[in-house]
Amino acid sequence: MRRLRRLRPRSLRGRLVLTAALLATGAVLLSQLAALTVLRGWLTDQVDNRLAHFHPPGRVYEDVITGNEAPRPPGPETTLPSDYRVYFYDRDGNLLRTSLGSGKSPGPRLPARAAELDLTAGRPSTLLTEGDASGSGWRVVSYEGPDRMRAVVALPLDTVDGATTKLLWLSLALGVAVAAGVVVLGNGAVRLGLRPLTRVEHTAQHITDGALELNVPVADPDTEVGRLGLALNTMLDRLRTALRRTETSEARMRHFMADAGHELRTPLTAIQGFAELLLDEPGMAAGRRHEAHALIAHNADRMSRLVEDLFLLAKLGEAPVTHREPVDLLSLAADAIATTAIRHPHRTITLEPLPALP
């Protein structure tokens, strides 16, 4: 089984060609076998018809009865002008050695006693050749003669066997020719029929290599290959849509992380600055110290809210959605001025409105 699996072709084209070749060869051999059986049966019936129309003349039995237990050897005037052979059993059931008929080939294998002759009178049967089990054989029929004698008429089957042998070799040659023709022509036909599937295979290989913008060619949507191409194109469209969504989500996430980092850096810088200010000026006035603590607490709260938002987004597993809304620039400027005033108390900082645009 393992050797058969190894010899079995792996490609679909090879399997189709091998299957077609086996089916065609099997069909030819079966048809030739049926023809061989019919031909052999017809030729055998012809031999049986010849045997049925031939009866030994009564004079031959008289010669056997009046002679010395055996008929006279046939001379030129009494030799049968055909391939018939006639054998006799005497009144005691013994096979007489002398037979009528021409030809030097051995005759049928007959038993020495008539009681051992397994033949029904008037019904043809087939016997092997005397001394040659592999010979063509003989078709024989027995007849009852006078005075309890029996005659066995035989015809060789060499013509039948020769015709069937030639037809058998012709069938084998025809089967080999059909198998070779199916392999050669079927390979081209299968290759042509599988060309759309081959194009799908090449396109799928290009897509695997990274050409995601390609689509599978669809020649005829009513065929199996066409429906396969449509299904693959639908799958590719969904895959490209999912990839675009993933890329968009990743870009938005990166943008959000950059904004979040920028937002976190501002309160962290303020907290670090106020903490260093408190450490560097231990004798700072109580009002300024309270204001510095208040700003540290405000920036810490702001940073805490940003961190909580990041944790929430991580739990939800979704990209953040950017919301655009008006910003109070005056409050932002006031916070920046307050931070700078605490760190640089000897500098004068004023807040004025922007001049009107022309």
Task: Write the secondary structure of 158-197 as one string of H (helix), E (strand) and C (coil).
Answer: HHHHHHHHHHHHHHHHHHHHHHHHHHHHHHHHHHHHCHHH
| Average pLDDT along the chain | 76
Residue 70 maps to a domain: no
**Nearest residue to 140 (alpha-carbon basis) of 107, 163, 164:** 107
For the chain, the C-alpha Rg in angstroms (whole number) is: 56
**277 and 339 assigned to the same domain:** yes
Task: Indicate the range of 54-68, 221-235, 271-285 predicted with least confidence.
Answer: 54-68
Among 188-192, 226-230, 288-292, 316-320, where is mean pLDDT lowest?
Answer: 316-320
Report the chain's terminal Cα–Cα distance, integer Å: 94
**Same domain assignment for residues 203 and 266:** no
Residue predicted with more confidence, 320 or 284: 284
Residue 354 lies in a domain: no
**What's the pLDDT score for residue 341?**
66
CA-CA distance, 275 to 292, in Å (whole number)? 8
* Domain assignment of residue 228, given as a range: 195-242
Residues 205, 335, single domain; the answer is: no
Distance CA 58, CA 146 (A): 9
Within a domain: 104: yes
Query: 200: which residues sit within 8 A by CB, 6+ positions away?
Result: 216, 217, 225, 228, 229, 232
CATH number of residue 304's parent domain: 1.10.287.130
68: in domain:
no
Residue 351 lies in a domain: no
Pick the last residue of a domain from 242, 267, 299: 242
Region at 143 (left for phi over 0; alpha for psi -120 to 50; beta for the rest) = beta
Are residue 264 and residue 339 in the same domain, yes or no? yes
Are residues 13 and 25 part of one domain? yes
* 178 shares a domain with 37: yes
Judge if 260 and 335 occupy the same domain: yes
Q: What percent of the chain has pLDDT over 90?
A: 0
User: Is 358 within a domain?
Assistant: no
pLDDT of residue 71: 45
Both 200 and 175 in a single domain?
A: no
List the single range of 151-160, 217-226, 289-298, 313-322 with lowest mean pLDDT.
313-322
* Domain tally, the chain: 4
Examine the domain organization and report whether 171 and 42 are in the same domain. yes
Q: Structure tokens of 196?
A: 């759309």
Question: What mean pLDDT is predicted for residues 127-156?
Answer: 79
pLDDT at 76: 43
User: Do 28 and 91 sit in the same domain of this protein?
Assistant: no
Task: Indicate whether 291 belongs to any domain.
Answer: yes
* 67 inside domain: no
Together in a domain, 226 and 312? no
Cβ 267 vs Cβ 282: under 8 Å: no
Closest CA to 85 of 162, 158, 164: 158
